[in-house]
Amino acid sequence: MKQELVHIALVVDDYDEAIAFYTKQLNFDLIEDTKLSETKRWVVVKPKGTNGCSLLLAKAATDEQNTRIGNQTGGRVFLFLHTDDFNRDYNNLLRHNIAIVRPPSEEVYGKVLVFSDLYGNLWDLIEPKKK
């Protein structure tokens, strides 16, 4: 038996604004941007160099969905981004004025910091310790 987590839906306010943030500031790849209707698109981004899970950028379509933008997990860290070069990616966050919520620290599992995306969702940036 094999199962695989393929996409995580991230509720956003605007497709183009979200695409710009993830591709130009976090350096993700735009995998797909397909128009499904006058108001809905299928937009997928993922970190460079991975075949793993991607983000499905889903524009809020209802008042209830709008309340979830930037806080899909009640204020907890939502997404965990592993990196092979912590300093490169930390400096990229600084260069793009991305909010660092918790500064870099060395933990038993590796280097980590918490940053906030353009909507306020919290992310861990982690460079795991080499085994």
For residue 108, report the phi and psi dihedrals to the nearest 5 degrees.
Answer: -60, -25
Give yes or no: residues 115 and 94 share one domain. yes
My answer on whether 11 and 62 are in the same domain is yes
**Which residues are paired to 97 by β-bridges?**
none
**6/60 same-domain check:** yes
- pLDDT at position 131, please? 77
pLDDT tens digits, residue range 53-87?
Answer: 999 999 999 999 999 999 999 999 999 999 999 99
E-strand stretches of the chain: 7-12, 29-35, 41-46, 54-59, 77-82, 100-107, 110-116, 122-128
* Mean per-residue pLDDT of the chain: 96
Does pLDDT of 94 surpass 90?
A: yes
Total structural domains within the chain = 2
Q: Are 53 and 6 in contact (CB under 8 A)?
A: yes
Structural element, H or E, at residue 99: none
pLDDT of residue 65: 96
**22, 56: one domain:** yes
Asked if the model's pLDDT at residue 44 lies above 90, the reply is: yes
In this prediction the pTM is: 0.94
pLDDT of residue 62: 96
Question: Tokens for 41?
Answer: 């698109």
CATH code where residue 105 lies: 3.10.180.10
Exposed (0-12), middle (13-18) or buried (19+): which is 70, by Cβ within 10 Å? middle
Percent residues over pLDDT 90 in the chain: 95
Its domain, for residue 58, covers: 1-69
CA distance 83 to 1: 29
Q: Are residues 33 and 63 in the same domain?
A: yes
Same domain for 82 and 128, yes or no, is: yes
- In a shared domain, residues 16 and 57: yes
Q: Does 33 have pLDDT greater than 80?
A: yes
Separation in Å, CA 46 to CA 15, 23, 28, 42, 101: 15, 9, 5, 14, 22
pLDDT for residue 61: 95
Same domain assignment for residues 25 and 83: no
Please check whether residues 91 and 55 belong to one and the same domain. Answer: no
